[in-house]
Amino acid sequence: MNITVNIVLIISATLIALAAIVCDFLAERKFSDSPERRLSKKIIKVHRNYIAGFLGFAIIMLLTANYGGPGNEIFTYLSFGSTLTSLVLSILAIFVTVHSSADLYKQFTRIDSATETINNVYRQIDSTLMVLRNVESNLQNTSDGISGQLNTIVEQFDQKLQTRMTETQNEISRKLESMNKPIDQRPSQAFAPSTEVLEAFKKGFISLTSASGLLALYACALSKEKSKVFELSKIFMTNELYTFGFLIACSSAGIVNFTHDQTNNKISCAGIVFSSQELYDAIKSAAQKYGSDYVNRVNAINEDFDIDLLQIQIK
């Protein structure tokens, strides 16, 4: 066959194969991922493959027809070339195998090192977990100990508080019982003032006592002298609470001794250091200062105890 014809046929087959490959590449870029596009793509690949296969087969047939046959040494050349290629590929395979073995050994060495590192980390983690368990156990024991100590402290505090409250209640009851006794029945004091000291105390106390306080002491003195109770809400309507508080303060100081009937709000005085006349004289002097309203309050007490009303000219 003419060499020119063979070259033209080979170039034509090559161009057709290149055209098929380019068309397949453009189709890959153009088509989307829809099912229809994927089916079209597969059909184009099938056509490309068998076209390239036919063209390759044609090229092989042309070369065989041109260079094959009796007297051609192409097969001798091909045999020699194949032998050399086999030798070269064998040598390359040996080098590749050695190189692969060395790489494989390095990989196994790295795996052993990584395994040892993992084992060390595991042992460290296990040791850390053991320490954490011990710490947790110690914390639990400490918490239990603190809870027990707190419970003990609370119990001791409650016992001491109950004891102190009981002692305080007993002391208050004892003092109230002592206050309700007449003055002459109270426990003797370590210090008994002389008559001069007592008179000076009485004068000083009367001079410093408020006007309402004088009326409360006057009513209490009359209650003792006449053995008669008086009702707070009746003769001390405007300042009943103040009068009761004043009498309690005087009772605490040992000046008066009285009992209070809470049901009827009545006072009964069993003892007082002042006489009604001493207080009455001080009240007359105070009446000049506080006016007719004060005189009316004095007369309310006199009227309750059946005493002549106070007649005084207010200056």
pLDDT recorded at residue 283: 85
Burial of 300 (0-12, 13-18, 19+ CB in 10 A): middle
- With 50 as the cut, is the pLDDT of residue 189 above it? no
- With 80 as the cut, is the pLDDT of residue 127 above it? yes
pLDDT recorded at residue 190: 39
Query: How far apart (Å, rounded) are the C-alpha atoms in residues 121 and 262?
Result: 85
- With 80 as the cut, is the pLDDT of residue 301 above it? yes
pLDDT band of residue 181 (cuts 50, 70, 90) is low
Q: What is the pTM of this model?
A: 0.40
3-state secondary structure (DSSP) of residue 265: coil
Query: How far apart (Å, rounded) are the C-alpha atoms in residues 117 and 128?
Result: 16
- Mapping DSSP onto H, E and C, the string for 150-218 reads HHHHHHHHHHHHHHHHHHHHHHHHHHHHHHHCCHHHCCCCCCCCCHHHHHHHHHHHHHHCCHHHHHHHH
Query: Rounded mean pLDDT of 252-278?
Result: 85
Which residue, chain included where needed, has tokens 């006489």?
Answer: 275
- The lowest-confidence range among 6-10, 150-154, 191-195, 201-205 is 191-195
The 10s digit of each residue's pLDDT in 78-115 is 566 667 777 777 877 787 777 677 767 777 888 888 88
Which residue, chain included where needed, has tokens 């409360």?
Answer: 216
3-state secondary structure (DSSP) of residue 268: strand
Counting residues of the chain whose pLDDT is more than 90, the rounded percentage is 0
Q: Which of these, 174, 172, 259, 178, lies nearest to 224 by C-alpha position? A: 259
